[in-house]
Amino acid sequence: MNSDTRVRPMPRVSMLPRVALVLALGGLLAACGKDESATPAADAAATAAKPAATPATVISSSVAAMSADQLREAASKAYNENRLYAPAGDNAVEYYLALRDKAPGDASVASALTDLLPMTVIATEQSVSRDDFAEAQRLTALLEKADPQHPALTRLKTSVTEQQQIAQQRAVQQQLTAEEQAKKQVELEKKRLEDQKKQQELAAKQLADRTAAERVAAERAAADRAAADKAAADRAAAERAAAEREAAQRTAAANTPATPARPAAASANTELRALSTPMPAFPPEALRSAQSGEVQVEFTVAPDGSVSAARVVRANPPRVFDRAAIAGVKRWRFQPVDAPVTTRRTISFNPGT
Reduce the secondary structure of the chain to three states and give it as a string. Answer: CCHHHCCCCCCCCCHHHHHHHHHHHHHHHHHHHHHCCCCCHHHHHHHHHCCCCCCCCCCCHHHHCCCHHHHHHHHHHHHHCCCCCCCCCCCHHHHHHHHHHHCCCCHHHHHHHHHHHHHHHHHHHHHHHCCCHHHHHHHHHHHHHHCCCCCCHHHHHHHHHHHHHHHHHHHHHHCCCHHHHHHHHHHHHHHHHHHHHHHHHHHHHHHHHHHHHHHHHHHHHHHHHHHHHHHHHHHHHHHHHHHHHHHHHHHHHHHCCCCCCCCCCCCCCCCCCEEECCCCCCCHHHHHCCCCEEEEEEEEECCCCEEEEEEEEEEECCCCCHHHHHHHHCCCEECCCCCCEEEEEEEEECCCC
Determine, yes or no, domain membership for 240. Answer: yes
Determine, yes or no, domain membership for 264. Answer: no
Instruction: Please check the confidence at residue 255 and state whether its pLDDT lies above 90.
Output: no
The model's pLDDT over 304-326, given as tens digits with 9 standing for 90+, comes to 999 989 999 999 999 999 999 99
pLDDT of residue 143: 95
Query: What is the percentage of the chain residues whose pLDDT exceeds 90?
Result: 53
Tell me the mean pLDDT in the region 214-233: 85
Query: What is the percentage of the chain residues whose pLDDT exceeds 70?
Result: 80
Tell me the mean pLDDT in the region 18-42: 46
Same domain, 161 and 65: yes
What is the total residue count of the chain?
353
Instruction: Please check the confidence at residue 269 and state whether its pLDDT lies above 90.
Output: no
Q: Look up the domain containing 246 and give its range.
A: 178-256
Mean pLDDT of the chain: 82
Determine, yes or no, domain membership for 265. Answer: no
Same domain, 32 and 108: yes
Same domain, 97 and 70: yes
Determine, yes or no, domain membership for 223. Answer: yes
Q: Give backbone dihedrals phi and psi of 53, rounded to 5 degrees, phi first.
A: -65, 145
Determine, yes or no, domain membership for 268. Answer: no
Same domain, 214 and 152: no
Which has the closest alpha carbon to 259: 275, 248, 270, 274?
270
Peptide bond into 55 cis (omega under 30): no
Classify the phi-psi angles of 70: left when phi > 0, otherwise alpha if psi is within -120 to 50, otherwise beta. Answer: alpha
Tell me the mean pLDDT in the region 153-166: 94
Residues 111, 113, 114, CA angle at the centre, nearest 5°?
Answer: 65
Same domain, 29 and 90: yes
Q: Of 153, 174, 195, which residue sits at a domain end?
A: 174
What is the rounded distance in angstroms from the CA atom of residue 218 to the CA atom of residue 105?
Answer: 99
Same domain, 145 and 196: no
Tell me the mean pLDDT in the region 135-146: 95
Same domain, 10 and 99: yes
Determine, yes or no, domain membership for 109. Answer: yes
Same domain, 96 and 11: yes
Which has the closest alpha carbon to 68: 100, 108, 41, 91?
100
Same domain, 164 and 201: no
Does residue 294 or residue 27 have the better pLDDT? Answer: 294
Asked if 116 and 82 touch (Cβ cutoff 8 Å), the reply is no
Does residue 48 or residue 139 have the better pLDDT? Answer: 139
pTM: 0.41
pLDDT of residue 295: 95
Residue 322 belongs to domain with CATH number? 3.30.2420.10
Asked if 300 and 329 touch (Cβ cutoff 8 Å), the reply is no
What is the rounded distance in angstroms from the CA atom of residue 43 to the CA atom of residue 49?
Answer: 10
pLDDT of residue 194: 87
Q: Give backbone dihedrals phi and psi of 325, rounded to 5 degrees, phi first.
A: -65, -45
Q: Of 223, 256, 289, which residue sits at a domain end?
A: 256
Determine, yes or no, domain membership for 211. Answer: yes
What is the rounded distance in angstroms from the CA atom of residue 25 to the CA atom of residue 14?
Answer: 16
Q: Of 174, 204, 234, which residue sits at a domain end?
A: 174
Same domain, 284 and 298: yes
Determine, yes or no, domain membership for 70. Answer: yes
Binning pLDDT at 50, 70 and 90, where does residue 1 land? very low
pLDDT of residue 23: 44
Across the beta sheet with 307-316, what order do the strands follow?
307-316, 293-301, 341-349
Same domain, 26 and 126: yes
Same domain, 183 and 126: no
pLDDT of residue 252: 66
Instruction: Please check the confidence at residue 2 and state whether its pLDDT lies above 80.
Output: no
Least confident of 23-37, 68-82, 115-129, 252-266: 23-37
Helix pair 92-102, 107-129: axis angle to 10 deg: 140
Asked if 326 and 297 touch (Cβ cutoff 8 Å), the reply is yes
Which has the closest alpha carbon to 167: 40, 271, 66?
40
Least confident of 65-74, 178-187, 232-241, 252-261: 252-261
Instruction: Please check the confidence at residue 132 and state whether its pLDDT lies above 70.
Output: yes
Could you give the number of structural domains in the chain? 3
